[in-house]
Amino acid sequence: MKAAGSKILDAALKCSRGDGFHNTTTADIVRESGVSQGALYLYFATKEDIIVALADDRHHSEAIINALAQAEQDPVRGLLSLIDLYGAGLADTTRLDARRVGIQGWAEALRSPRINDSVIAGLSTVRAAIIRLIERGQHTGQIRPEVDAEALSRILVATFQGLVMQVVWGEPVDRAACGRVIRGLIRAALLTPEALDALGSRPAPFPDRFESRKESLP
C-alpha cells in the first residue's frame, strides 16, 4: 500500500502534466488518486501546497548530484560525464512528465516565493557541484585558471534548462549532436593543452564519442 501523500502527488503530477497546475482541479486529483476529497486536506492544507510540493526542484536535481558525487574522480571526466548525465536525462522518456511539471514550476517560481526558493535551491546545489569540479580542475592544472567557474556553472545549467524545454516542446533536438558540440566547447575552450593531450584528442575538437544510447527521435 502506497502512502496517501505520495499517491496524491503522483496523481497531481499526472493531471498537471497535461493541462497544467491551474487547470487541474482537486476533483481531478481525487479521481486520479483514489483518495477522497476530504483526505486531500489531511495531507495538504491548500491546493497551493500541492503545487509547491510538485514543483519542488530539489528532488529533481538530487539524482544529478548523487551521480556526480559518485564520479568524484578526475574533475575533467566529471564535467564531461555531467554532460552525459544530462544528455541521458533528456533521452529518458519515462521522466517526461516530471520534466513537464518542472518547467511549470520554473514559471510558478515567478509568483510564489516558496517555489522560487526551491527552484533556486535545486539550481544552487547543482551549480555548487559544478563549481567544485571546475575549481578542482583548475587546481590540478587541467582547466585554465582564467575560467570563471561561477559564470560557467550558470551557463551550463542554463543550457540544459533551455534544451530541456526544447525537447519537451516537441522540437527534434539532436541530442547526440548537441552533446558533441558542448563537449567540443568545453574541451577546446576550457582545458589546458596538457589536459587535452592527456585526453588524447588534440587534433579533433569534436570527437564522436557522445552517441551511446539508442535514439528514437520523433
Partner DNA sequence: TTAAAAAGACTGACCAGTCAGTTTTTATAT
Partner DNA sequence: ATATAAAAACTGACTGGTCAGTCTTTTTAA
Q: Which parts of this chain interact with DNA (CB under 7 A)?
A: 4, 24-27, 34-42, 46-48
To the nearest whole angstrom, how small is the minimum distance from the Cβ of residue 31 to DNA? Answer: 11
Give the binding-site size for a second copy (rule: CB under 8 A). 56
C-alpha cell at 103: 518547467
Pairwise CA distance, residues 55 & 11, whole Å: 14
What are the residues whose beta carbons fall under 8 Å from the beta carbon of 105, sequence distance 6 or more? 54, 55, 56, 57, 115, 118, 119
Residue closer to DNA (CB basis): 7 or 180? 7
C-alpha cell at 88: 541521458
- Tell me if 188 contacts a second copy by CB under 8 A: yes
C-alpha cell at 189: 575552450
Among 54, 157, 195, 196, binds a second copy (CB under 8 A): 157
Residue closer to DNA (CB basis): 10 or 48? 48
- Tell me if 201 contacts a second copy by CB under 8 A: no
- Tell me if 155 contacts a second copy by CB under 8 A: yes
To the nearest whole angstrom, how small is the minimum distance from the Cβ of residue 190 to a second copy? Answer: 8
Pairwise CA distance, residues 131 & 40, whole Å: 41
Helix (H) / strand (E) containing 28: helix 26-33
Unique residue bearing C-alpha cell 497551493 = 48
To the nearest whole angstrom, how small is the minimum distance from the Cβ of residue 12 to DNA? Answer: 11
Residue closer to DNA (CB basis): 74 or 108? 108
C-alpha cell at 116: 522560487
Of a second copy, DNA, none, which one sits near residue 144, judging by CB under 5 to 8 A according to partner kind?
A: a second copy
- Tell me if 177 contacts a second copy by CB under 8 A: yes
Tell the burial category of 2 from Cβ atoms under 10 Å away from its Cβ (0-12, 13-18, 19+). Answer: exposed
Pairwise CA distance, residues 36 & 188, whole Å: 57
| Among candidate residues 144, 168, 11, the one with its CA nearest the CA of residue 76 | 144
Among 4, 10, 14, 20, binds a second copy (CB under 8 A): 20
- List interacting residues with a second copy (CB under 8 A): 18-23, 100, 103-104, 106-111, 116, 119-120, 123, 144, 146-148, 150-152, 154-155, 157-163, 165-166, 168-171, 173-174, 177-178, 180-182, 184-185, 187-190, 205-206
